[in-house]
């Protein structure tokens, strides 16, 4: 049984931003055999709101990988290309790690497939390749999707930063393996938080592109999350459909430190629209990299 | 999966899902609209330019220890160099065309020059010998901007473990730790005192925090011996030969330390490889893969935009499809079904001697 790993404290002057990091995927492993259905004990609502991640991320991150592979030939800078390649590898591993949890949910009698089928349709059909576009339109579609991803990555870094600073989850005795998954993933999101934004600006520095990315991705993500939480609470065989998610309840759970504050999350989305925004302004690389050096899953990967 | 019929309602009601239907309609209008004015990259804006390589010249050279020289590299016109943080390295293009990574070992506050230290390895790939024999003050070089694969997180307690020339990235970390008043220790191991560089500079920071452990005097240390120097709850930063790092990784669990940082070098050396051939498409060009190079390395010369990431056969980014030939799968990612369908990861997978793999590229 892995121990719960508290996020290490940092000395005050640690660099919040690390320049020009070399990004590489980590070959993590998790053992889900003993994961309880409500892995935050007695907190089904908080558990399932966070579980929406496992519904969205496998398909979503595979789509990131596909879009970024298509963007590679458009990149004109060697360092950015290397960062994008590191990003692709990390996202590919994230997708598989969350897929394992999804498979585990099914084994516990919660069938996620109706929702996952919709997510797959969204990423493969709605946001997938459109046949019959000429080269210029195809190129514009690739850049537009990179802008969607840059906006989503703003939220993943926000959530990652929250996961690294969420002692409420430790207090509630959340499952240590799941906490390690959330914090390992969150730390890599903070580690690579600039890549999608830098790629977007490299391909199109226009402000309109950035705004469109957030205008489409932000509301869609919020809506998918609410739908996902409602779906999981309804599909949970132990709850018999008694629990319905409400914003008021989410706010109360957030006050106990088990979810990010909903209002704070939306404010964070608006910060993305500030003209001088850059992802390095949020979160701490030192904290993220410090966690990765202690994470049981990342350390097991390093040991080979 | 079925990409023609929208997915059914989430709760089993007998109709297509309204939200999905609306999203699909939105997507079908949005994609073709991109490219029209206001929904495209401003065509008057110039394309982003690639970052040019750094032009450097050797400004000083000194001998640090048996077989170790230090070079100072500066901008030939005396301008300031791009900044860096402890743990960063420089990728140098040597006059012969070889490219080599060296950790920056100077002070990040000094923007006038980069310092690197190089041990002469007569049995190595020739880069260190070239530096020792041909780089003298005035020699011009190009380099990529510093990048960091070994970032220093300034935890309150740190143990820096250096094996021989592996001290180079740790010296700037020790400086930063001292500057910030962290509880730090540095243990430097090597064959004998005259082979260890930077002893004086380290001792000048704080002699009580630096320990030299040489094999001729103390015997070869175990990883547990080294980790016993860690303050409780310390973060360990280890840089040295691969066996040292592996031993430290294994021994960390039983030590007072709780975190381990090290620089990861993607590709492991190829074990038991034989030369074979790749063909790009059924009638395409043939590429020879020598025994000591990966198929991915060879492929990238022909296809520079081929995606790849981990170099170790676990992330699946470099997947290519096989048209003919029998591969020797060495990855940890692909399922038997994916392999049966022709998937191969060229970063690690190979083929028997003389075999030809025909790839769908």
Instruction: State which residue of chain B sits closest to A68, comparing Cα positions.
Output: B307
**B235–chain A Cβ distance below 8 A for any pair:** yes
Question: Residue B147 is nearest to which of A79, A286, A304, comparing CB atoms?
Answer: A79
Q: Which of B148, B181, B199 is the last residue of a domain?
A: B148
Largest CA-CA distance found in chain B, in angstroms, rounded = 81
User: Mutating which of A9, A12, A16, A25 best tests the B interface, going by the most B Cβ atoms within 10 A?
Assistant: A25
Q: Is residue B9 part of a domain?
A: yes
In the DSSP assignment, the letter for residue B50 is P
Mean pLDDT of chain A, nearest integer: 93
Contacts of A78 in chain B (CB under 8 A): 50-51, 144
User: Given an 8 Å threshold on Cβ–Cβ distance, is B309 in contact with A285?
Assistant: no
Question: Residue B151 is nearest to which of A21, A69, A304, comparing CB atoms?
Answer: A21
Instruction: State which residue of chain B sits closest to A291, comparing Cα positions.
Output: B259
**B149–chain A Cβ distance below 8 A for any pair:** yes
Count CA atoms closer than 13 A to B324's CA, side-chain side: 10
In this prediction, residue A302 has a pLDDT band, given cuts at 50, 70 and 90, of: low
pTM of the model: 0.94
**Rounded distance between C-alpha atoms, residue B251 and residue B223, angstroms:** 6
- Look at chain B and count its residues: 361
Given a cut of 80, whether residue A55 has pLDDT beyond it is yes
User: Given an 8 Å threshold on Cβ–Cβ distance, is A22 in contact with B154?
Assistant: no
Contacts of B12 in chain A (CB under 8 A): 114
User: Given an 8 Å threshold on Cβ–Cβ distance, is A20 in contact with B266?
Assistant: no
The torsion of the CA quartet A300, B146, B110, B115, rounded to 10 degrees, works out to 80
User: Given an 8 Å threshold on Cβ–Cβ distance, is A293 in contact with B11?
Assistant: no
Torsion sign across C-alpha atoms B145, B146, B149, B151: negative
Both B95 and B140 in a single domain? yes
User: Given an 8 Å threshold on Cβ–Cβ distance, is A11 in contact with B180?
Assistant: yes
Q: Is residue B270 part of a domain?
A: no
Q: How many CB atoms lie within 10 A of CB B122?
A: 9
Q: How many CB atoms lie within 10 A of CB B325?
A: 17
User: Can you give the CATH number for the domain in which B232 is found?
Assistant: 3.40.50.80
**B338–chain A Cβ distance below 8 A for any pair:** no
Q: Which residue has the tokens 């994961």?
A: A35
Both B248 and B312 in a single domain? no
- pLDDT tens for A128-138 read 988 889 999 99
User: Given an 8 Å threshold on Cβ–Cβ distance, is A11 in contact with B155?
Assistant: yes
pLDDT computed for residue B301 by the predictor: 94
pLDDT computed for residue A131 by the predictor: 87
- The more confidently predicted of residues A2 and B36 is B36
pLDDT computed for residue B278 by the predictor: 97
For chain A, what is the radius of gyration of the CA atoms?
19
What backbone torsions phi and psi does residue A233 show, to the nearest 5 degrees? -65, -35
β-strand B157-163 against B140-148: which pairing, if any?
unpaired
Q: Is residue B268 part of a domain?
A: no
Both B24 and B80 in a single domain? no
Contacts of B258 in chain A (CB under 8 A): 8, 294
Both B186 and B258 in a single domain? yes
The complex's ipTM works out to 0.94
Q: Is residue B269 part of a domain?
A: no
Residues 199-228 of B with CB under 8 A from A: none
Both B132 and B229 in a single domain? no
Both B187 and B205 in a single domain? yes
Angle (nearest 5°) at CA A270 between A269 and A276 = 110
How many beta-carbon pairs below 8 A join chains A and B? 205
pLDDT computed for residue A7 by the predictor: 56
Of all residues in chain A, the percent with pLDDT exceeding 70 is 94
> Tokens for A242?
């008694």
Torsion sign across C-alpha atoms A208, A209, A212, A214: negative
Instruction: State which residue of chain B sits closest to A8, comparing Cα positions.
Output: B155
What backbone torsions phi and psi does residue B38 show, to the nearest 5 degrees? 75, -20
In this prediction, residue A14 has a pLDDT band, given cuts at 50, 70 and 90, of: low
β-strand B320-324 against B343-344: which pairing, if any?
antiparallel
User: Can you give the CATH number for the domain in which B321 is found?
Assistant: 3.10.20.30
Contacts of B40 in chain A (CB under 8 A): 136, 140
pLDDT computed for residue A13 by the predictor: 46
**Rounded distance between C-alpha atoms, residue A232 and residue A225, angstroms:** 10
**B42–chain A Cβ distance below 8 A for any pair:** yes
Contacts of B50 in chain A (CB under 8 A): 76-78
CA-nearest of B53, B140, B65, B60 to B91 is: B53
Both B142 and B169 in a single domain? no
**Rounded distance between C-alpha atoms, residue B344 and residue B350, angstroms:** 9
**B180–chain A Cβ distance below 8 A for any pair:** yes
Q: Can you list the residues of chain B whose pLDDT is less than 50?
A: none
Going from the C-alpha of A145 to that of each of A148, A209, B233, the distances in angstroms are 5, 10, 43
Ranking A2-11, A59-68, A117-126, B267-276 by mean pLDDT, the lowest is: A2-11
Contacts of B35 in chain A (CB under 8 A): 136-137, 140
**B108–chain A Cβ distance below 8 A for any pair:** no
Number of domain units in chain B: 4
- pLDDT tens for B260-274 read 999 976 677 888 899
**B13–chain A Cβ distance below 8 A for any pair:** no
Contacts of B147 in chain A (CB under 8 A): 20-22, 79
Q: Which domain holds residue B4?
A: 1-42
Specify burial of residue B323 (Cβ count, 10 A radius: 0-12, 13-18, 19+): middle
**Rounded distance between C-alpha atoms, residue A139 and residue A137, angstroms:** 5
- The more confidently predicted of residues A235 and A9 is A235
Both B203 and B120 in a single domain? no
Q: B187 in helix, strand or coil? A: strand
Question: Residue A20 is nearest to which of B8, B146, B260, comparing CB atoms?
Answer: B146
Contacts of A209 in chain B (CB under 8 A): 41
- pLDDT tens for A216-260 read 999 999 999 999 999 999 999 999 989 999 999 999 999 999 999
Q: Is residue B47 part of a domain?
A: no
Both B168 and B257 in a single domain? yes
User: Given an 8 Å threshold on Cβ–Cβ distance, is B309 in contact with A19?
Assistant: no
Instruction: State which residue of chain A sits closest to B238, comparing Cα positions.
Output: A293
User: Mutating which of B46, B85, B101, B151 best tests the A interface, going by the most A Cβ atoms within 10 A?
Assistant: B151
> Tokens for B143?
């380099």
Both B256 and B181 in a single domain? yes
Both B161 and B247 in a single domain? yes
pLDDT computed for residue A11 by the predictor: 41
Given a cut of 90, whether residue A10 has pLDDT beyond it is no
pLDDT computed for residue A16 by the predictor: 67
In this prediction, residue A4 has a pLDDT band, given cuts at 50, 70 and 90, of: very low
- pLDDT tens for A165-202 read 999 999 999 999 999 999 999 999 999 999 999 999 99
Contacts of A231 in chain B (CB under 8 A): 10
Question: Residue A78 is nearest to which of B50, B261, B309, comparing CB atoms?
Answer: B50
User: Given an 8 Å threshold on Cβ–Cβ distance, is A85 in contact with B309?
Assistant: yes
Both B169 and B128 in a single domain? no
Contacts of A234 in chain B (CB under 8 A): 11
DSSP string, chain A: -PPP-PPPP--TT--SS-TTBPP---------TT--SSSSTT-HHHHHHHHHHHHHHHHHHHHHHHHHHHHGGG---HHHHHHHHHHHHHHHHHHHHHHHHHHHHHHTT---HHHHHHHHHIIIIISSPPTT--HHHHHHHHHHHHHHHHHHHHHHHHHHHHHHT-HHHHHTT--HHHHHHHHHHHHHHHHTTTHHHHHHHHH---HHHHHHHHHHHHHHHHHHHHHHHHHHHHH-TTTTT-----HHHHHHHHHTTSS--HHHHHHHHHHTTSTT--GGGSS-HHHHHHHHTT-HHHHHHHH-
User: Can you give the CATH number for the domain in which B119 is found?
Assistant: 2.40.30.10
- pLDDT tens for A70-87 read 999 999 999 999 999 999
């Amino acid at each position: 049984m892995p121990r719960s790993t508290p996020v290490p404290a940092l000395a005050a002057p640690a660099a919040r931003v690390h320049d020009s990091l070399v990004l590489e995927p980590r070959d993590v492993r998790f053992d889900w055999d003993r994961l309880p259905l409500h892995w935050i004990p007695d907190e089904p609502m908080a558990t399932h709101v966070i579980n929406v991640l496992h519904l969205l991320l496998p398909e979503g991150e595979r789509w990131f990988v596909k879009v970024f592979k298509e963007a590679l030939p458009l990149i004109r800078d060697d360092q950015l290309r290397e960062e994008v390649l590191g990003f692709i590898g990390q996202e590919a591993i994230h997708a598989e790690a969350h897929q394992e949890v999804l498979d585990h949910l099914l084994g516990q009698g919660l069938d996620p497939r109706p929702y996952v089928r919709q997510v797959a349709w969204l990423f493969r059909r709605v946001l997938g390749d459109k046949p019959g576009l000429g080269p210029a339109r195809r190129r514009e579609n690739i850049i537009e999707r990179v802008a969607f991803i840059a906006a989503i990555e703003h939220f993943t870094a926000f959530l990652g930063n929250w996961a690294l600073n969420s002692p409420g989850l430790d207090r509630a005795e959340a499952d240590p393996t799941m906490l390690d998954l959330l914090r390992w993933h969150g730390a890599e999101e903070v580690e690579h938080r600039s890549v999608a934004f830098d790629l977007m600006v490299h391909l199109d520095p226009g402000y309109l592109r950035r705004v469109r990315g957030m205008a489409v991705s932000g509301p869609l993500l919020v809506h998918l999350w609410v739908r996902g939480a409602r779906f999981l609470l309804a599909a949970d065989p132990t709850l018999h459909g008694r629990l319905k998610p409400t914003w008021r309840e989410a706010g109360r759970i957030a006050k106990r430190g088990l979810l990010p504050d909903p209002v704070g999350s939306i404010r964070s989305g608006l910060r993305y629209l500030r003209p001088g925004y850059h992802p390095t302004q949020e979160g701490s690389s030192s904290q993220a990299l410090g966690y990765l050096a202690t994470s049981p899953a990342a350390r097991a990967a390093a040991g080979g | 999966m079925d990409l023609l019929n929208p997915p059914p309602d989430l709760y089993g009601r007998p109709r297509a899902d309204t939200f999905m239907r609306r999203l699909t309609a939105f997507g079908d209008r949005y994609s073709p609209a991109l490219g029209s004015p206001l929904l495209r990259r401003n065509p008057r804006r110039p394309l982003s330019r690639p970052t040019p390589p750094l032009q450097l010249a050797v400004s000083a050279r000194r001998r640090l220890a048996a077989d170790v020289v230090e070079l100072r590299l500066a901008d030939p016109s005396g301008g300031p160099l791009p900044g860096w943080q402890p743990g960063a390295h420089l990728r140098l293009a040597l006059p012969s065309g070889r490219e080599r990574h060296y950790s920056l070992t100077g002070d990040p506050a000094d923007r006038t020059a980069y310092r690197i230290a190089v041990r002469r390895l007569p049995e190595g790939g020739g880069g260190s010998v070239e530096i020792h024999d041909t780089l003298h003050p005035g020699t011009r070089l190009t380099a990529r901007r510093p990048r960091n694969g070994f970032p220093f997180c300034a935890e309150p307690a740190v143990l820096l473990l250096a094996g021989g020339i592996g001290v180079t990235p740790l010296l700037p970390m020790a400086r930063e730790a001292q500057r910030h008043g962290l509880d730090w220790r540095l243990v430097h191991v090597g064959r004998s005192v005259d082979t260890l560089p930077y002893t004086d500079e380290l001792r000048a920071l704080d002699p009580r925090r630096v320990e030299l452990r040489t094999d001729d005097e103390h015997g070869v240390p175990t990883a547990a011996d080294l980790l016993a120097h860690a303050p409780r709850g310390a973060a360990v930063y280890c840089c040295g030969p691969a066996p040292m790092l592996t031993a430290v990784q294994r021994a960390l669990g039983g030590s007072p330390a709780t975190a381990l940082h090290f620089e990861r070098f993607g590709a492991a050396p190829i074990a038991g490889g034989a030369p074979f051939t790749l063909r790009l498409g059924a009638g395409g060009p043939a590429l020879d893969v020598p025994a000591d190079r990966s198929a991915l390395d060879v492929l990238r010369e022909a296809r520079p935009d081929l995606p790849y990431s981990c170099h170790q056969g676990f992330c699946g980014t470099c997947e290519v499809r096989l048209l003919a030939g029998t591969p020797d799968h060495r990855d940890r990612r692909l399922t038997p079904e994916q392999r049966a369908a022709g998937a191969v990861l060229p970063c690690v997978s190979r083929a028997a001697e003389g075999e030809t793999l025909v790839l769908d590229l």
